[in-house]
Structure 1
Amino acid sequence: MTTILVVDDDPTVREVVSRYLSRDGHQVMERSNGVDGLYAALSESPDLVVLDLMMPGMNGLAVCRELRRHSAVPVIMLTALGEESDRVVGLEYGADDYVTKPFSPRELALRVAGVLRRSRHDHMPAPVSPAPVGATVDGDLRIDAAARSVTRGGTALQLTVREFDLLTFFLAHRGQVFSRSELMERVWGWTFGDESTVTVHVRRLREKIEPDPANPRRVVTVWGVGYRYDETS
C-alpha cells in the first residue's frame, strides 16, 4: 500500500482529497501546516506528497524547497493561483506536477496515480547504447534505469520523477529533436497543458547533469523547434 501525505491548511480540502485517495487504496496522512508537513515528509517517508501552495507561516514553496534538499519524493502542488508564472515557480522549486484550485478530486487522484506509476519501475525507457548491464553511460554521467539512479562523476544526483523520465527519454532518442508539445505527450502522456512545464524541467535537468548549465552540451536547444540530446563521449 502506498502512503500519500496531504498538506493543506483547509480541513475540507484535506477531507475530500483523503477520501478520494483512500478509495484508490492509498494510505493517507494529513497535516495542516507547512512545518508539520515537512517534518512528516522527512520522517515518515511517504511515497508522494500533495502540497498546498498558499499556507500561513511556512508556505508550500518553502516546504518544497527544503524537502528537495533531502529527498526526491514526488510532489504534486495544489495552487489557487492561475497565472503561468506562479505555476512555473512551483515547478522550479521542485514540484513534479500541479493542480489548480478549484479542482476535481478525481483528476487529482488520476494525477497521483500517474506520478506514482512513473516513480516506480513502470514504462521506463530502456538504454539503447552499449553500456554496463542495466546502465547507460555518457561521459561522466551514468544512468541506472533499474535503480532509477543517476550519478555524475561518481556523485549521486537527486532527480525528481519527471526529470528522470525526461533524461531517460532523451537518452533513448539521442540526436533527435523534439518540440515541447511532443515531449509533454511522449514523456508524460499529456495531450494538453502548459508547455512552460517542459521548459522548467529542462532547465532543472540541465542544472544537475551539465557542467555548465548556462552553456549546455547535452540537452541543447534547437531554436524555433525544441530540444535535442547530444552525446559528450
Structure 2
Amino acid sequence: MNNYNILVVEDEQDIAIAIQAYLVNQGYNVFIANNGIEGLEILENEKIHLSIVDIMMPKMDGITFTMKLREDHDFPVIMLSAKSEEIDKITGLNIGADDYVTKPFKPLELLARVNSQLRRYKKFLNMVETNIKNENLFTIGGLELDVNTKEVSVDGNIIKTTPIEFKILTLLMQNPGRVFCADEIYEKVWKERAVNTDTIMVHVRNIREKIELNPRSPKYLKVVWGVGYKIEKQ
C-alpha cells in the first residue's frame, strides 16, 4: 500500500470506474471527476500526486483543466484521448502534460506509466526538499548554522546562542567575507534605525567566546578595524 492520491478526470463513467479499480488494486487512493470543473474542485480540497486526464470532456476539457492545474501544481499529468493524431499529443505535452496514452489502452500499460511518473515525481520532491534544507544550512569550515532548527555547532558540538546572537551570526554566515559595519548589523537584526551600536561589540565578543577555540586569535569571526565585522571565508 502507498499514500499516493490520484485524480482521474474522465467523463465516461465505465472508463473512470475501470481505471479506479486498477489503481485501487495497486494500493493508490483514487478521486474521480466527470469534467475539468469537478477536477479543480477536488484539487482545492485534496493533496493530489498524479492526475489522469481525458482530453474530450463537457463543461471543461482536459486541455483547459491541465492549463489551470499547472498554475499551482507540479505533479505529473497523464492525458487520455480516443484520438491518435500527433497534434493532440503535441498539444497535451506543450500545455504541461507529462505523458500521453491513446484509447483504447491496456490497463497494465497505464499502470506502468503511472508508476514511472510517480517514481520521477518522488525523486523531484526529494531534490526540492534537499535544496530547501541546503538553502537554510550554512557551513564555514567547522562552523555550521541551521536556520530551520536554530542550531549552531562547531566541529559537531552544539553551541547555545541567544536569539540576537543567532541573528547576527546568521547575517554574517549568509555573506561570508563581506564586512558589515555596526550600524548595518543593528538595522538588519533589530529592524530599526541604529542609535547606539555599542551593544553590537558586546554581542560579537560573546559569539566569539562561544564559537572560537581561541577568541584572541579568531578563526571565524573577524574584526576589520575601523570598518566592521565579518565571517572569514574558509
Q: Give the TM-score, by structure 2 length.
A: 0.52
User: How far did 1:149 drift?
Assistant: 6.5
RMSD, aligned CA: 2.1
Q: Where does structure 2 lack aligned partners over 5 or more consecutive residues? A: 133-234
Aligned to 1:36: 38
Residue 81 of structure 1 aligns with an amino acid whose one-letter code is K
Corresponding residue SS for 2:123: coil
- Number of positions where the alignment pairs a residue of Structure 1 with one of Structure 2: 130
Residues 97-154 of structure 1 deviation map (CA, whole Å, 9 limit, x = unaligned): 11000101111111000000110028x9xxxxxxxxxxxxxxxxxxx9353769xxxx
Q: Which residue of 2 aligns with 1:18?
A: 20
Q: Which amino acid aligns with 1:22?
A: V
Distance 1:70 1:27 in 2: 21
Aligned equivalent of 2:108: 106
Q: 1:72 aligns with which of 39, 56, 74?
A: 74
* Cα distance, 1:86–1:23 mapped onto 2, change above 3 Å: same
**Which has the larger helix fraction?**
2
- Output the CA distance in 1 between the equivalents of 2:8 and 2:130: 25
- Secondary structure at the aligned position of 2:119 is classed as helix
* SS across alignment from 1:85: helix
Q: Quick one: structure 1 residues 149 and 65, their matched pair in 2 at CA, closer, same or farther if it must change by over 3 Å?
A: farther
Higher relative contact order (CA 8 A, sep 6+): 1
| Offset from partner CA, 1:135-189 (integer Å, 9 cap, x none) | xxxxxxxxx9353769xxxxxxxxxxxxxxxxxxxxxxxxxxxxxxxxxxxxxxx
Segments of 4+ moved more than 3 angstroms = none
Letter in 2 for 1:145: M
Aligned counterpart, 1:136:
none
Greater C-alpha radius of gyration: 2
Letter in 2 for 1:80: A
